[in-house]
Chain A
């Protein structure tokens, strides 16, 4: 069995553009799901009573449906409903955000609930409003406790962007698939893709662990 890794170097640009799209999609969907997830969690925790069952239904539905299904539905079916056709990248960004925001919301909720209610009561007894108590007392402790979960969610986000290849987003997985098909050298191409994904993901998981060990004491109460 002969291996010829020149297929990688001669298509460095093609694969490189895939890596850039993977990183871009990871960062953007990570940020947007963080923002949406926080809003969803706050709506669940402090929102009006009628809103809560809807939010819970959304979160649990996203835990029940595969990302692949969400992405395929967003790309192929959503344009039929709305009449607006989206490029694959935007469909992937929206689909990933809708899916991951549910996980963010769960992390935020359990982080906030891990801060004992006595602390909120104490803050309010000292004359703070509820919003002040949440902002100054609860959130600073809760955020530190959420960090490890956000870290693993970041690595899940990067891994989930690979599923966007199914709706033809030109990220690393898609580019590798295309190149493997054209060059008839799947072993070399997929091994390279494995190496790149591992090099992206391993530092993320390890880095978050190390960061958390440094700040964990801030979340103690």
Chain B
């Protein structure tokens, strides 16, 4: 077995660009999925009943589907349903956002529900409106409990971006496997790919642990 690690260095530009795409995809998905998650959670908690059922159905559906299937579905079915010709990157972003929004919505709902009902009653008894009570009393307390969950969703999302490689989005996994196919340096490229994910993901996992210790709720 002769190994040639030079191949990794030769393709450094492509790998760095692909890593950038992976990071960008993670950030863009979260930027979309945070507000959308709040909206869906609010719809689930406070909206008119049929809307509430619809929001629940959305969350349950996407939490119970493998993401890779959602990616394929978005790639093949979205263009037919909507008539739009989205780029692979936009399609991948859509699939990831649909998935993460469902998880975030569940996180926000659980966080808000974890605040005892008496607090809302007390706030309203003091003359606050429902919206005021939510904004000033419930959300500040709920956010402390939500943050650690969001942090671990972030790390999962960072890893899950690798799944959009199945439809040729030029992120890290796809690019590394392309180079592998062109150069036949299988072991070197796949190990380099794993190492780059590890270098980026390890500190994030440690940060999540820290956030979880820092914001642990003791009752």
A contact residues vs B (CB 8 Å cutoff)? 1, 60-61, 63-70, 72-73, 76-77, 80-81, 155, 158-163, 165-166, 173, 176-177, 180, 186-187, 190-191, 193-194, 197-198, 201-202, 205
Contact = CB atoms under 8 A, between A and B. Distances in A.
14 contacts: A60-B205, A60-B206, A63-B155, A63-B205, A69-B197, A73-B191, A81-B187, A161-B66, A163-B163, A186-B76, A194-B65, A198-B61, A198-B65, A205-B63
B194 A69 contact: yes
Contacts of B180: 76
Most central of A68, A70, A158, A201 by chain B CB within 10 Å: A68
Given A64-B197, A64-B204, A65-B159, A194 B69 contact: yes
B166 interface: yes
Contacts of B191: 73, 77
A81 B81 CA distance: 46
Contact of A162 (B1, B63, B66, B162): B66
A151 B35 CA distance: 29
B5 interface: no
Contact of B69 (A73, A81, A162): A162
A1 B200 CA distance: 45
Interface residues of B, number: 41
A142 B123 CA distance: 38
A216 B191 CA distance: 44
Interface string B58-81: 001101111111001100110011
A56 B180 CA distance: 30
B65 A201 contact: yes
Contacts, number: 119
Contact of A198 (B64, B163, B198, B204): B64
A64 B198 CA distance: 5
Given A66-B197, A190-B72, A197-B66, A72 B202 contact: no
A169 to B, nearest CB: 12
Contacts of B67: 159
B128 interface: no
Contacts of A68: 162-163, 165, 173
Nearest to B60: A202
* Chain A contact surface mostly: helix
A57 B193 CA distance: 18
**Lowest 7 CB-CB distances: which A-B pairs, in order?**
A64-B201, A162-B66, A186-B76, A66-B159, A201-B64, A66-B162, A159-B66
B186 interface: yes
Most central of B68, B200, B205 by chain A CB within 10 Å: B68
B133 interface: no
A61 B64 contact: no
B201 A63 contact: yes
Most central of B60, B66, B159, B173 by chain A CB within 10 Å: B66
B190 interface: yes
Given A60-B202, A66-B159, A72 B68 contact: no
A72 B198 contact: no
A28 B72 CA distance: 26
Nearest to B159: A66
Contacts of B198: 61, 64-65
Contacts of B65: 159, 194, 197-198, 201
Contacts of B72: 173, 176-177, 180, 186, 190
